[in-house]
Structure 1
Amino acid sequence: MTPDILFHKTYQHPTSQEWVVFVHGAGGSSSLWFKQIKDYRQHYNLLLIDLRGHGRSNQLLKGLISKQYSFQDVTLDIINVLNHLNIAKAHFVALSLGTILVRNLAELAPQRVQTMVLGGAITRLDARSKILVKIGDWSKNIIPYMWLYQLFAYIVMPQKGQKQSRHLFIREAKKLCQKEFKKWFKLSADVNPMMRYFRDRELNIPTLYLMGEMDYMFLRPVKEMVKKHKFSQLLEIPDCGHVCNIEKPIEFNQYSLAFIQQHS
């Protein structure tokens, strides 16, 4: 693997020509898609990516991650992997902050995005989210980043049934260094301006929002946006919170695969 390409893993299907690309959220890694691989690889070629500074990309791109970066930079990282593998077009499945990257990729290169499945999507930071970000911004140079991350994990995923999700995300976040955490944390300031633009400008790409009905921080803004977008639809998964691909993998796989197959 060349040093300027993110760490990635592929699963080749014996006959399918179509690809599904999985994009994780901040603090996670491609390993958090382990409950999707078995079902998806029966139908498609799979590409799993570790974003810069995350998972096994933590030791790559050292020249890049030594600097501040934007959503644009991180999105271009994904496009570079697609180019490296000669993937002209794909279905994209993303979670949490990864949904912003996929939506941005669709803005930069719409011809490369066949469908989007956006799980636990972030479309706007509400008042509670903004307060959380401000507290984190004020204390990020004082409090160890893992304390902050654990606090965020409990606030975003507070229910008892989300224990596994919290554990997995905290485990993966330990692979980030303090500097990387701060860089990703600063990206949160760009969420609302970027998503305001995305709300006003819908792309004619079939989009499925998969949200847990108990995702109290992010579900309402998605509901509001889907009402205005004719190419988007929302499915709520009962008794489920933010990290729906881990909390309810059977439902997540069933709904998302049916959607992708509908547009294959």
Structure 2
Amino acid sequence: MLHYKKHVIAEDAPWVVFVHGAGGSSAIWFLQIKEFVKHFNVLLVDLRGHGRSKHITTSKEVRHYNFEVITRDIIEVLDDLQIQQAHFIGISLGTIIIRNLGELAPERVASMVMGGAIIRLNVRAKVLVAVGNFFKSLVPYMWLYRFFAWIIMPKARHRKSRIMFVNEAKKVAQKEFMRWFTLTYELNPLLKYFEEKDTGIPTLYLMGDEDYMFLPAVKYIVKRHTNSYLEVISNSGHVCNIDQPQEFNSRAIKFLCNVSLQSLPESVDTMPQLAAV
């Protein structure tokens, strides 16, 4: 089972589950925990091969990872803790896992907060994936990871996010990195399916205004899907929970509290501004 850490404030409090991206770990949410535990029970998981979930063995049947295997790892933790339903918050590739959870077990997902959401791969992203697949067996994987981090988060203000993710990626074994990289072969058909199918699950997209690779696709998708909202965080790149943690926390908490109260507004723009939390 995945390694996890939980913070329980009350038995009847709603749960929030944090899902990190590829190469990260639950440590990337260190700027969120303090604020979220004021309102919710919090569950942080380390995906297989990441953080303290390195012990998970891979059977012959799942030698090559796919999104269903990784998603069911999270469902197994929910079952073990007897969490019937929760809000889910993800960053980067973690948003794809959450969206897939909404497909496999929609009754378990009260809402989704998608930070730096990956909705569609633009031409630059497709080229990046192709380059990675070509060189993955020829160069050390950390060279590729540093290169990807710089392409996706290029500005000086993204430096903290880049360093955080590179440092976490160093803890992932090369063989494990290769297994995760095989997921790129699934991305295009899976993302196309997600784009065409509207789950209706309340979803808030939190995107940095400098997330040039993925923000345009999110702007498009929120116009097509019901119960989907977008908030753009200024002076922030792809990893907006680290670039602008106060904005990320306040907007996400406001949204989740509204969902918990079953009082979603017609538009995020009509929500009253939250005081700093």
Which TM-score bucket, shorter chain as reference?
A: over 0.9
Secondary structure, in 3 states, of the residue corresponding to 1:55? coil
Matched, 1:42 2:38: yes
1:254 aligns with 2:250: yes
Equivalent residue runs for 1:69-218 within 5 Å: 69-218=65-214
Structure 1: give runs of 5+ residues left out of the alignment.
none
Distance 1:6 1:61 in 2: 11
| Count of residues in Structure 1 that have an aligned counterpart in Structure 2 | 260
Q: Report the TM-score, using the length of structure 2 for normalisation.
A: 0.91
Please list the CA deviations of residues 142-184 of structure 1 after superposition, one character each: whole Å capped at 9, or x if unmatched.
1000011000010111010111101110010011111111111
> Does 2:223 align with 1:232?
no
State whether residues 98 and 112 of structure 2, in contact with CA within 8 Å, keep that contact through their aligned partners in structure 1: yes
Change (3 A) 1:201 1:40: same
CA–CA separation in structure 1 for the residues paired with 2:118 and 2:61: 24
Match of 1:20 in 2: 16
**Equivalents in 2 of 1:16, 1:34: separation in Å?**
24
User: Please, which of 37, 48, 55 is the counterpart of residue 59 of structure 1?
Assistant: 55
- Letter in structure 1 aligned against 2:131: I
- Check 1:226–1:66 CA distance in 2 against 1; reply closer, same or farther (3 A cut): closer
Computed over aligned residues only, the root mean square deviation of the Cα atoms, in angstroms, reads: 1.3
Gaps of 5+ in 2: 261-277
Q: Secondary structure at the match of 1:22?
A: strand
Identity %: 52
**Separation of aligned partners in 2, 1:34 and 1:65:** 34
TM-score using structure 1 length: 0.96
**8 Å CA contact 2:200, 2:225 repeated in 1:** no
- CA distance in 2: counterparts of 1:28 and 1:66, whole angstroms: 21
C-alpha separation in 2, matches of 1:14 and 1:129: 43
- Range with greater deviation from structure 2 (222-231 or 64-73): 64-73
Residue 33 of structure 1 corresponds to which residue in structure 2?
A: 29
